[in-house]
Structure 1
Amino acid sequence: MYNITLISTIHSENGKCNHNELYKILESINPEVIFDELPSHYFDMYFGNSFDLYYANSVLRNRQPPKMPLEVKCIKKYKQNYNVKILPVDIDVTTKLSKQQDEILFMFSIFFKNEDYIKLDNEKELLITQEGFRYLNSDKFLDFLERKEVVEKNIIDSEIQKDRLNNVYKLFHTEQHDNRENAMIHNIYKFSKENQYNQAVFLIGAEHKKSIMQKIAEYEKHSGIKLNWSMYGDNKKICR
């Protein structure tokens, strides 16, 4: 009981990383519950009627229609064929980050001027296209995350405005990773304490993989309920 498979994904379809391939993965696991990296109000929009109305209105006004995330397209298809409960577990940090939007854009503009960073990012995108979820859920992707972190910190240390960049970097990772990941883990454990299930999956952006694995292992030590976590792709347990 309480088996959860963590599946790393991306939000926009790219080559072999598409909603049909994710659907096959879900079918192979056959979850009763899907925990998804969505805040509740986005969940209501995508799975209610408002998204269809928003899409139709954009088309009528000759505006670029909104894109539905890869995971949402997959879940909608899966829900049509299987009895499954969908739980949005994320929180929205858009308001907090929007106040620092110019600083965040400044930071990434510095990153994408660096040849090593560009080369690393291009390598990632190519492997996503060619290998899809197999790459995103592999040790090779964890290695990419570690190399990216090293390159980012080297870039910051080499810049004249490194103090400014360090502050933005810490803020971005606190809001985009730490606060959101802690909230998602808390929401999963809260639901699990109140509901029984045998098999669940947790769909989360691959960039969170390394840090959320560490947080889950730490959370499990102090939790009143024990969940059986595993990662899709390499059959490794997160918590032992």
Structure 2
Amino acid sequence: MFKRVAFKRKLILLAVYNITLISTVHKEIGKCNSEELYRIFQSINPDVIFLEAFDNSYSKYHQMLFSQFGVYQERLEIKAIQAYSQNHAFEYVPVLDIGLSDEFENKVAIVSENKDYQRLLDRYISLETNGGFQFLNSKRNIALQEEMRELEDRIIDDEILHQEVNKSIDAYEHSMLRNIYSFCKEKSFDKAIFMCGAGHRKTITQKIIEYEAIENLKLNWTFYNDI
């Protein structure tokens, strides 16, 4: 048993662990579609695909429906994963184990009624539709997301609500990264991708820097189209 464990640890130490963060949107819209995402998959050729999703988002039953009857899921990322699975071998790993809070949902509902926010959101959707994944994975996207967050703070003058929402988002993002690092401590691979909603790009990137400073296992993170 000791020799087998030691050999496993040696394999893990020899692994490369290249992970590319890809910012996504969960529904197809314009150039943000499964065909474009599939092409990104092909350019990276991952051995592992981490996704901001729960286990039941693409269950064994859903996988059977696709393999036996060709039934595609509606969610953009999973549809691309299904297409990629036809010609590639990889491990799919959903990394969510907690959801966002009711306070987060309440905040979204309130700001969505604001006319200024609706105009800013329309602008964002237009850039998303026409720019596709190049826009979602750009500094321009981060800047516009920041502009939206600042407007949200002005619309809702409730510091306690803001604190609760930020606490929920923080826990949500930390849970995804904890699950990725836990997986990497158990299994080895050369290339992986981690797909996460574009709204998390800035804060997830900051958290990755924090994790790399404290974790013994070092992962080689890159950020798709980081321009």
TM-score (norm 1): 0.79
Which residue number corresponds to residue 134 of structure 2?
134
Cα displacement string for residues 82-135 of structure 1 (whole angstroms, at most 9, x for unaligned residues) = 0111111112426xx4xx47x844x33431343331221111100111111010
State the match for 1:198 in structure 2: 190
CA contact (8 A) 1:46 1:72 kept: no
> Identity rate of aligned residues, in percent?
39
Q: Give the equivalent residue in structure 2 for 1:24.
A: 39
* Alpha-carbon distance in 1 for matches of 2:113, 2:154: 13
Instruction: Tell me: CA distance 1:104–1:169, structure 2 relative to 1, closer, same or farther (3 Å).
Output: farther
Matched residues, number: 209
Note closer, same or farther for the CA distance 1:104–1:4 as it changes in structure 2 (3 Å cut): closer
Pick one of 92, 101, 125 that aligns with 1:86: 92
List alignment gaps of at least 5 residues for structure 1.
57-65, 236-240
Choose from 14, 37, 48 the match for 2:29: 14
Q: CA separation of 1:169/1:5 partners in 2, compared to 1, >3 Å: closer, same or farther? A: same
| Structure 2 counterpart of 1:79, one-letter code | S
Matched, 1:71 2:64: no
Amino acid of the structure 2 residue aligned with 1:134: Q
Instruction: Report the Cα distance in structure 1 between the residues aligned to 2:123 and 2:182, rounded to whole angstroms.
Output: 38
Matched position secondary structure for 2:81: helix
Q: Which runs of 4+ in 1 moved over 2 A?
A: 45-52, 107-110, 112-116, 166-175
Query: What is the TM-score when the length of structure 2 is the normalising length?
Result: 0.83
The separation in 1 between residues aligned to 2:92 and 2:123, in whole angstroms, is: 33
1:8-157 alignment runs, 5 A limit: 8-44=23-59, 47-49=62-64, 68-93=74-99, 97=101, 100=102, 104-105=105-106, 107-157=107-157
Q: Is the 8 A contact 1:104 1:168 kept in 2?
A: no
Task: Kindly indicate whether the alpha-carbon contact (under 8 Å) linking 1:45 and 1:51 is maintained by their aligned counterparts in 2.
Answer: no
Any idea what SS the aligned residue of 2:23 has?
strand
User: Aligned equivalents of 1:216 and 1:128: distance in 2?
Assistant: 25
Matched, 1:233 2:197: no
User: Would the aligned equivalents of 2:98 and 2:175 in 1 still touch at CA under 8 Å?
Assistant: no
Determine the structure 2 residue equivalent to 1:168: 161
| Alignment CA distance shift 1:170-1:196 (3 Å) | same
Q: CA deviation at 1:11?
A: 0.5
Cα distance 1:147–1:27, how it changes in 2: closer, same or farther (>3 A)? same
Letter in 2 for 1:16: K
The Cα RMSD (Å) is: 2.4
TM-aligned CA distance change 1:128 to 1:46, over 3 Å = farther
1:207 aligns with: 199
Q: Structure 2: which 5+ runs fail to align? A: 1-15
> Which residue in 2 is equivalent to 1:220?
212
Aligned counterpart, 1:238: none
The change in CA–CA distance for 1:193 and 1:14 in structure 2 (over 3 A counts) is: same
In 2: Cα distance, 1:69 partner to 1:104 partner = 20
